[in-house]
Amino acid sequence: MRRPLALLTGLAGLVTAPALAATSDHPAVLELFQSEGCSSCPPAEAVLNSLADRPDLIALSFEVTYWDYLGWKDRFARPEFTSRQYAYAAAIGSDEVYTPQMVINGRGRIVGTDPAEVAASLSSYDRADPGPVLTVAGASVTIAAGPGRSKPAAIWLVRYDPRRIDVPIRGGENTGRTLPHRNLVTALIRLGDWTGAAARYALPAAAPGMASAILLQDGVAGPIIAARKLQG
């Protein structure tokens, strides 16, 4: 495994909303991979924070573990989040990851520090086809029938914290800074696989104070096929 590469970044600001086919019923999915131990990450986090409340987006912040050795252990980082980023890398034939990195709808990969590039990428990598309807009722989610599939699609439940969390950093590359977080992912749970037939999947009990989303994804780290925000 090669050493991850941190990229230099620029200033971040508010992202101008692009014209998307995505809606609150069929939101786009933006995943930011970052670390509190990475000095290049705060600008990308500022971009994600500016998008956190958009109803047509599921903006998710995954904290990764591979910068913890630099002197600051990121308490929000999880090995499974790091594994997800490596799965995205493997999907394009790479064994290398870097921070910050944004993955748009499972289709496009950018650094994520330039608001104009993020806006353009949300448009360029728009899903267009909203995919099968996801319906949540009680403690289950139903996926409507769709075209037959040659390989299963993964069904992910993502729990994330919608609040602003300010973290004073006392070690590593960001020593002395206070980093504001939004939409920090706290859990990534695979509910099962979908092969194209209508199917229902049980949901774990809601986590108090957390927001949730369902992602239907081609394979483990391919394009997002459908997505939906949940209440709790």
Binned at pLDDT 50, 70 and 90, residue 6 comes out as very low
pLDDT in tens, 58-84: 999 999 999 999 999 999 999 999 999
How confident is the prediction for the chain on average, in pLDDT?
Answer: 90
Binned at pLDDT 50, 70 and 90, residue 130 comes out as confident
Binned at pLDDT 50, 70 and 90, residue 18 comes out as very low
Q: What is the pTM of this model?
A: 0.90
All structural domains of the chain with their residue ranges:
28-230
Mean pLDDT computed over 11-26: 55
Q: Does the pLDDT value for residue 4 go beyond 90?
A: no
Mean pLDDT computed over 115-120: 96
Where is mean pLDDT largest: 49-53, 126-130, 205-209? 49-53
pLDDT in tens, 90-117: 999 999 999 999 999 999 999 999 999 9
pLDDT in tens, 165-205: 999 999 999 999 999 999 999 999 999 999 999 999 999 99
List C-alpha distances in Å: 153 to 2, 149, 207: 29, 8, 25
Mean pLDDT computed over 26-55: 97
Binned at pLDDT 50, 70 and 90, residue 11 comes out as very low
User: In the prediction, which pLDDT does 148 show?
Assistant: 81
Name which of 17-21, 31-35, 36-40 the model is least confident about.
17-21
Regarding predicted confidence, which is higher, 20 or 127? 127
